[in-house]
Structure 1
Amino acid sequence: MPRHTGPVLPVGHAPRTRSGRIAGRAVARRIATAALLTLAAAGAVASPAAAHPDKEHHRHTGESRTGIRSPRGDVRPAAFDLVHTSVRRVGRQLVFTEVVRGRAGSVRPEPAGKFAGSEVLSYVWPTSLDPSTVGFTGESGILALAATSHPDFDDTPRYDEDRNGRTDDDGARWHSHWVVLVPDTTRADGALKVRDIAEGERPDLPETWPGVPLYLDSPPYPTRLKADTVQVRVPLADLGFPKGFSYDGVTAALRVNADLHDPLLRVTGVLDVASGRLSLPGRV
């Protein structure tokens, strides 16, 4: 594994890395869809305080080759009210796109002044791809692409996104991650978390893993937010040129656990879901 400039979070294990293999697409799709529907039924997509308290999430109005269309709702802030979600192939890239009712990326977390208890805001594309597709241990959870902002820490130690000569102060800038999501077993409401790496555990991890005890990857994918659109471009080669997969769209808030123990990073509120029920109706 290439040497990093230094992890932002404490690491108490010595993981091994290898290139990911592509699991059977049909099997991965069934696993991911079943897990997502189970979590949704358990309450993982309950609206947080940022959403209107008297309205349920909107339902998607259509799905097609062009993506998942959702009616304009009353999710607040409007920057996280999904209108259209898509993943499409453009040449040798996959373009992940979410269109919102407001201005994409205009709302960022309020700095907490410390890592413990800090907040993360995100635009997320859950997929049916097996985590081994990008280098994680296979069948380890739900593989999702995310564009995130978190001003209290930097989890891209290889890259100087703002080109100021430092690689440890760019967390507030919107940037991309692969994450593996699993149920948070410390809670009874079916909430999700980014999968932790336990002390002494040696999972398979991507080459661009940032050195944190999480199933989290920090690839240098171009992440663009303009007007009402957030877009991330992923080289098809990074995914082994999959012939097809399913996806959905989510906007969510996450929080670092105040005591820095498992779970280290949990989903605290799902602001909106493109399909309404995490059914992964989108098709590539």
Structure 2
Amino acid sequence: MKIKSSCGFGLVAAALCCVSVNASAHEITTASNQAVMASFDIIETSIVTDHGHAIFRTRVRADAGKVTPQATGKFEGSEVYAYVWPTTLNSWDVGFERDQGIVALAVTFHPDFDDAAYGGKNRDRWHPHWVVLSEDNACPGGLKVRDIPEGTKPRLPETWPGAPILIDSPEYKTELTGDAVEVHIPLEKIGAIATASFDGVTAGLRVNANLHTPLLCVANVYKVASGNLSLPGKVVPGK
């Protein structure tokens, strides 16, 4: 199913569409928006630490993970749907070089290609990634997953899937049930998370049809939890 953003293209347009929000000192809650498909209509986003894990959680109006991109049969031009938590983490905290851009956890589905670590398969399921986002006006949404310049050898996580972009493919417990998307990450993997701020986004990304840089663009923004991508959420300390 093809989905058009109710907020138009671009993060600024998305922010202006989603203005009824309660950005508390902890989770971010926002009013539902009937113009956004229920699967992508964020109503609450949080990160909680509990029993040695950081639990990233987003609630939508209904049917988390029900809507997925239509397969095209080829990599170039294919689509990715994502539930995203942009954070204030440094790219070094998740295995990349320092100060590379916006570090985000993304739970994604893309039926036309695999990007699991070590050559594994993941095109048939929702799965998590760390990505580093940076601005690029060539992308409809104004952001891309940062490209790795040809001929460079930057610091990369062990579970980097081999794509020429700043992406990691760790195996974290990921669940989509009812209205919730939830990822459990061992704290030793992201020790700086306790002091991080965050936001919540639902988005569609697209692989460049010519396979040139930018390779993976944010193409549609369906909803921004805070309304303005200000990352007002704070991690709730647990046990």
Q: Give the structure 2 partner of residue 11 of structure 1.
A: none
CA distance in 2, matches of 1:175, 1:45: 27
Shift in Å, 1:73 = 1.0
Shift in Å, 1:64 = 3.2
Q: Does 1:73 align with 2:40?
A: no
Structure 1 stretches lacking a partner, 5+ long: 1-41, 48-54, 160-166
Match for 1:83 among 43, 50, 53?
A: 43
- What secondary structure does 2:118 align onto? coil
CA distance in 2, matches of 1:241, 1:268: 30
Equivalent position amino acid for 1:104 in 2: A
Q: Does 1:122 align with 2:70?
A: no
CA distance in 2, matches of 1:250, 1:133: 21
CA distance in 1, matches of 2:58, 2:31: 13
User: Quick one: percent identity of the two aligned structures?
Assistant: 49
Q: Give the structure 1 partner of residue 6 of structure 2.
A: none
Q: Give the structure 2 partner of residue 138 of structure 1.
A: 98
Q: Give the structure 2 partner of residue 44 of structure 1.
A: 11
CA distance in 2, matches of 1:74, 1:269: 17
Match for 1:57 among 4, 8, 18?
A: 18
Q: 1:247 to 1:152 in 2, by over 3 A?
A: same
- What secondary structure does 1:104 align onto? coil
Match for 2:165 among 214, 230, 238?
A: 214
How many equivalent residue pairs? Answer: 226
Q: Does 1:262 align with 2:229?
A: no
Query: How big is each residue's C-alpha offset from its partner over 1:45-80, in whole Å with a ceiling of 9 and x where there is no partner?
Result: 424xxxxxxx92243124133x11111112432100
Structure 2 stretches lacking a partner, 5+ long: 1-8
Shift in Å, 1:186 = 2.9
Q: Give the structure 2 partner of residue 174 of structure 1.
A: 126
The structure with the greater share of residues assigned to strand is: 2
Q: 1:199 to 1:152 in 2, by over 3 A?
A: same
- What secondary structure does 2:188 align onto? helix
Q: Give matches, 1:199-278, under 5 Å.
A: 199-240=150-191, 242-278=193-229
**Highest Rg: 1 or 2?**
1
Q: What is the aligned-residue RMSD (CA, Å)?
A: 1.8
CA distance in 2, matches of 1:112, 1:244: 41
- What secondary structure does 1:196 align onto? coil
1:152–1:172 contact (8 Å) kept in structure 2: no
Q: 1:235 to 1:121 in 2, by over 3 A?
A: same
- What secondary structure does 1:180 align onto? strand
Query: TM-score, normalised on structure 2?
Result: 0.89
